[in-house]
Amino acid sequence: MPMLYCEKDGEKYLQSFVGRTKESFEGEAVLVTKGRVIVEGCRCDKCNVPIKYNDTGYLISFWLADMEEDFPEYGFGYEHDYLEFKKSDVRLFGWDPELLANISSKYFY
């Protein structure tokens, strides 16, 4: 299940994945989605600061190695419950970036 982070912690977490080698993820993957928060009453899973409607938020989820072949069918259901985002706001680390590139744009704004 993805964790929701405030803009500050989300960006910091995202940057911790940037530049890491594929091997360092040991077959697993991290999906980072940045977007405009479309729900009320959330809090950052790291610092507990309230995340308000229209704030920028980050959803970050970890995927196990054996989930890789299901990923192209993932509809971003969880992300859409919390965020409005474009495809360019989604980052995938650990797996082939093509997996993300090939996901249908119908799932994005």
Distances (CA, A) of 85 to 18, 64, 69, 74, 94: 20, 24, 24, 15, 21
Nearer to Zn ion by C-beta: 9 or 89?
Answer: 9
Rounded Cα distance, 65 and 54, in Å = 34
Environment class of 80 (CB within 10 Å of its CB; exposed 0-12, middle 13-18, buried 19+): middle
Measured from the CB atom, the residue of 45 and 89 that comes closer to Zn ion is 45
Instruction: Using CB under 5 A, pick the residue from 37, 44, 90, 103 that binds Zn ion.
Output: 44
CB of 12 to Zn ion, least distance (A): 9
Which range touches Zn ion (CB under 5 A), out of 35-43, 47-55, 57-65, 87-95? 47-55
Q: Does residue 47 interact with Zn ion by CB under 5 A?
A: yes
Residue 9 interacting with Zn ion (CB under 5 A) = yes
Provide the binding-site residues for Zn ion, judged by CB under 5 A.
6, 9, 44, 46-47
